[in-house]
Chains A and B, each alone.
Chain A
Amino acid sequence: MMPHLVEPFDTPSLEYQLLAPMLIVFGGAIIGVLVEAFAPRGARRGIQLVLSLLTLLAAFVALLVWTRPDLGQIVASGNVAIDGPAVFFQGTILVLSFMAFLLFAEREVDSAGDAFTPSAATIPGSESERELTAARVSQTEVWPLTLFSVGGMMLFVAADDLLTFFVALEVMSLPLYLLVGLARRRRLLSQEAALKYFLLGSFSSAFLIFGSAFLFGYSGSISFAGIYDSLSSGVELDPLLLVGTGLVSIGLFFKVGAVPFHSWVPDVYQGAPTPVTAFMASATKVAAFGAMLRLFYVALGDYDWNWRPMFWIVTILTIVVGSILAITQTDIKRMLAYSSVAQAGFILIGVTAASESGLSSTMFYLTAYGFATIGAFALVTLVRDGTAEATHLSRWAGLGRRSPVVAGVLALFLLSFAGIPLTSGFIGKFTVFEAAIDGGATPLAIVGAIFSAVAAFFYVRVIVLMYFSDSPEDAPTIAVPSALTTLSIAVCAAATVALGVFPGPVIDLAEQAASFIR
């Protein structure tokens, strides 16, 4: 008789229907890679554009058909949880990515083509770069890369154990590091941003995986449910647990751009090609918050008395520092970056509430914020000095008179960020403040309210410039975008108004979806 050298191996059962949205996105990304390898260069862009949009669409349809926000199931041998929040966040990520992809495809606003450099490997300003630009070569790898990132995000919000969590984080982040460095204009700034993002991102990933090891050491389990179980029976002030929680938090705070781990945000948002910035500021933020919520509400759910004080401090710091530093910015992309730091603080108010309404309010806020952010960055791509985007704030003076539509829609997004009623941002603030006060975090709501007024200052400053100031002599041109960008901006504006005036259905959906399974 032969002894068994290995344990008998059960093939893992996979719930294909529930995993279908992610499988479709990853499948689409792999086909995209094959297209890069086999399709002729001239045909690639068309194929990639159609393929990517269809992939996102198919994944969204699969999500609608096969998953339900009010039912939860742990699938893939316990590695992935497809429950309400996962479905809600995956849907949000897909929709926001679709909007961002429309911006990726834009070729009308820049005379030389889309927002990406023809070849990232060429030296900025070199002869070969000029040749490639003249030949109108375009870098079509961005499409499969971004699809991989989208897939990573979808897995990140559904990951139910520490390893899947980390793998998803890396799948999401690695393509982003590359995408950040691909700007067609101001390439040195872009490459610097990419390097900075990569280095700091690697550090944060290291913190996260190190922290995961501590949590594993404490609980003997990598699954979130396992950590939860050992918490309910184990010693609660175990150093392993404390250190693990702290280190994992650093990784997540980095990804959402919370103070004091926010320093990459302005540089990267400024340096990255603006469509990529829009994608990162919306979809990535949704994914990072989704994952953060799952880790803290599921694995550390009964431990909130211990992590909430830390969240209080980080939340207040994020709101205060983000709002105040945004005031001093003179570049619109950097200002929007700091604004996104401040907004992350407002979203953290909902997370800190540590309740079901905290969860649903965070979900609503992220959706509202995502649309307004993509719209705002899309508008940034339209105002141009000759070839590059005119991002210095002074260049935006008098825009209200020269281009009422661009200025008006941007004003709408800014008012939404500022939280003026009848925009989605107001309902978002309303729901997170409600969750905070209901969850006993009234001081956070008050700090949030006060700093909303501070934040309003820099949003309003842009409106002042656009409407109350005179145009500069050599006023920047307003590019007329193709139907793709126009569609993206229109959808974002419509969503911002609709979620502000009739938020009922989305709040309803978020409330239905607001329960994790363990």
Chain B
Amino acid sequence: MNDFPVLTTLGVLPFAGALVVAALPRGRELLAKQIALAVTLVMLALTVAMALAFEPNAAEPFQFVEKTPWIEQFGINYAVGVDGIALVLIALAVSLAPVVILAGWNDADDNERHRPQTYFALLLALLGCIVYVFAATDLFLFYVAFEVMLVPVYFLIGMFGRGQRTYAAVKFLLYSLFGGLLLLAALIGLYVVSVRELGTGTFDWTLLAGMPIDPDTQKILFAGFFFAFAIKAPMVPLHTWLPDAAASATPATSTLLVGVLDKVATFAMLRLVIPIFPDASEWAAPFVVTLAVISIVYGALVAIGQTDMYRLIAYTSVSHFGFIILGIFAFTEIGGSGSVVYMVAHGLSTAALFIVAGYLVKRRGSSLIPSFGGVQRVAPILAGFFLFAGLASLAMPGMASFVGELTVLIGSYQRWPVAAAIAVIGIVLSSLYVLIMYQRVATGPATENVKGMRDVFPRELVAFAPIIALTIAVGVFPKPVFDVVNPAIERTYSFLNVEPVEPDVPDVDALTEYGVTEGEGTE
């Protein structure tokens, strides 16, 4: 296992799969889907093997490291490796991939313009970019994956979306490119600083993290990095591309986009922003936390007012990303670890919501909430899934998001009590938007609109089951995730100079074991 280039295999395999799938002729649509599913399952097996071989408490920051010179003139390496956080997020992406492929098996079939082969090839290519963006330990490689990722998403929305797909695709691309190009300028600035500080320019994380940078330069570079990630995350007021994209994309695309791809931003805050710009991160923390709290409350409030299910889910994500960023910038280990768990939980709950919403929309032909009503009567299992997805999103105890939300709030209360107190409003609001949506769609007598609606097919059931299993597993027994993530979080915050806040609550392990069974009593 040690010599086997597992990360490169994980990264290259989906691209190879994409080429094969794209090359299949007309009439071989089923084979294309099967190949795509097979590729993701092989990746899942590889990831499981990697996770089992991973040593959480190893001394070196990254494991499964591979490093080859790429563009030597600029000190650029092809360097990959994972720490606990990256491992967890790659695992999330790779677990969701077969799920969304299975759930969206027929999503591209009725597209008269483009072939399903293209759709699945683009999904696989996107997956490859996602693996690289989490696995890259060279900032240049990270940036390349970060930007190239836009291309498959853009085509997925524009070619296979619905409604205002073109507008949404272009808006997504331009927002992301704008942030990305500023990130590029900041990245080059960082490179120039590294030339001056270290003698030779480098993009190697292990050399850049903790490198002394003049505080003023740090602030400028921090701004460039943070802006790009704030668009990606997305934070209010840079979030407006997300609802449009989510409303137009297929559920599979939205799941990967919102559930996984946007985590790149929060991941990068932990991986890049804090270790490389610690002073600027501390300096900007009050501002970031304010924005995060605004995102939490604003996202939730706007979500309540949505009539389109996809847009509603997108706004809930804006709110949830606020929690994640709040946890990261709490600069406490419990907040940081909590935010990573929340990333996983949000990935799962968003996937659940988008997939069930996709099932509903596929049947009804509309994503507007008022065009449903009483689904429960005609399709009870489907409605049950919908309720589960909603509860996972509003952080019911026993669900993964509960662990994340609770630890984030505990962690951030220690440093930002006021912000944490306001953030609690987000929890209340989340019950509102989820339950109102569920009530309008599923409860009551079956309306004309939903008469004759089929309940879930076996394929849909098989696709959804793993999400239920994972959501409950992480919700009930989050310890393995915390075990893997904690050392990496500890390393991340070790670059900061903030005085640690003495936790006035039990340590994370103890807390999470209680967390589920005695849920609300822990605080």
Contacts and interface: CB of A to CB of B under 8 A. Distances in A.
Interface of A: 401, 415, 418-422, 426-427, 429-430, 433-434, 437-438, 442, 445-446, 448-450, 452-453, 456-457, 460-461, 464, 467-470, 502-504, 507-508, 511
Given A422-B148, A434-B191, A468-B158, A445 B165 contact: no
A419 B144 CA distance: 11
B174 A456 contact: yes
A453 B177 contact: yes
A461 B169 CA distance: 11
The 10 A-B pairs at the shortest CB distance, nearest first, are namely A449-B181, A421-B144, A453-B178, A449-B185, A468-B158, A507-B73, A421-B147, A453-B177, A468-B166, A452-B181
B143 interface: yes
> For chain B, what secondary structure do more than half of its interface residues adopt (helix, strand, loop), or is it mixed?
helix
Contacts of B72: 504
B284 interface: no
Q: Which of B71, B154, B165, B169 has the most CB of A within 10 A?
A: B71
B71 A503 contact: yes
Given A468-B169, A503-B71, A420 B150 contact: yes
B26 interface: no
Contact of A434 (B74, B155, B169): B74
B192 A450 contact: no
Contacts of A438: 192, 195
A207 B182 CA distance: 38
Interface string B149-167: 0110011001100000110
Given A434-B74, A449-B182, A460-B170, 7 more contacts: A421-B147, A430-B184, A449-B181, A450-B178, A456-B174, A461-B170, A468-B166
B327 to A, nearest CB: 30
User: How large, as a class, is the contact surface on chain B?
Assistant: 20 to 34
Given A437-B192, A449-B181, A464-B166, A457 B174 contact: yes
B173 interface: yes
A464 B158 contact: yes
Contacts of B114: 401
A452 B71 contact: no
A420 B184 contact: no
B170 A464 contact: yes
A95 B185 CA distance: 31
A466 to B, nearest CB: 11
B61 interface: no
B174 A442 contact: no
Contacts of A461: 170
A108 B55 CA distance: 64
B361 interface: no
> For chain A, what secondary structure do more than half of its interface residues adopt (helix, strand, loop), or is it mixed?
helix
Contacts of A433: 184-185, 188
A270 to B, nearest CB: 26
B514 to A, nearest CB: 46
A421 B73 contact: no
B177 A468 contact: no
A445 B188 contact: yes
Contact of B144 (A422, A460, A468): A422
Nearest to A442: B189
Q: Which of A434, A438, A452, A511 has the most CB of B within 10 A?
A: A434
A468 B159 contact: yes
A456 B175 CA distance: 11
Contacts of A449: 181-182, 184-185
Contacts of A470: 113
A456 B177 contact: yes
B173 to A, nearest CB: 6
Contacts of B113: 401, 470
A453 B179 CA distance: 9
Interface in B55-90: 70-74
B228 to A, nearest CB: 10
Contacts of A502: 71
B71 A507 contact: yes
Contacts of A426: 144, 147
Nearest to B151: A420
Contacts of B195: 438
B158 A467 contact: yes
Nearest to A432: B188
B181 A419 contact: yes
Q: Which of A418, A421, A460, A503 has the most CB of B within 10 A?
A: A421
Q: Which of B151, B155, B165, B192 has the most CB of A within 10 A?
A: B192
